[in-house]
Amino acid sequence: MILSWLYILGSVTFDIAANVFLEMSQGFKNKLYGVLAIIFIMAAFALLTLAVQGIPLFIAYATWGAMSISGTALATWLLFDHKLNWVVCLGLAVLILSIVTMQLTGN
């Protein structure tokens, strides 16, 4: 079970990196970053596939999604100066709270 959660963390890390590379590709104008985005998202889904062997799919996918969205928001804020206003932060908090609630009741 712990290994499955490590797979999710690795998958989230690869997904955030893929999203950063996608932004850096500027709509695939920069092919190298575009290709890296594709490779990293494939790696993210490969690890997610391993994670669902020990965690129910809906829990794994929801957790992965929430962490990936939140991590991408933070990464693009730090690296590209994307704006995070209070509405976005509230939405992220609701998203995370929803996943925590599922974790508490889903197993």
pLDDT score of 8: 97
pTM score, whole prediction? 0.90
pLDDT band at 11 (very low <50, low <70, confident <90, very high): very high
CB atoms within 10 A of CB 8: 24
Residue 88 tokens, joined: 């976005």
Residue 92, domain extent: 2-106
Please name the amino acid found at residue 33: Y
pLDDT score of 104: 80
Is residue 76 within 8 A of residue 19, CB to CB? The reply is yes
Give 16-66 pLDDT, tens digit per residue. 999 999 999 999 999 999 999 999 999 999 999 999 999 999 889 999 999
The answer to whether residue 107 scores a pLDDT higher than 60 is no
Does residue 83 sit in helix, strand or coil?
coil
Give the total number of structural domains in the chain: 1
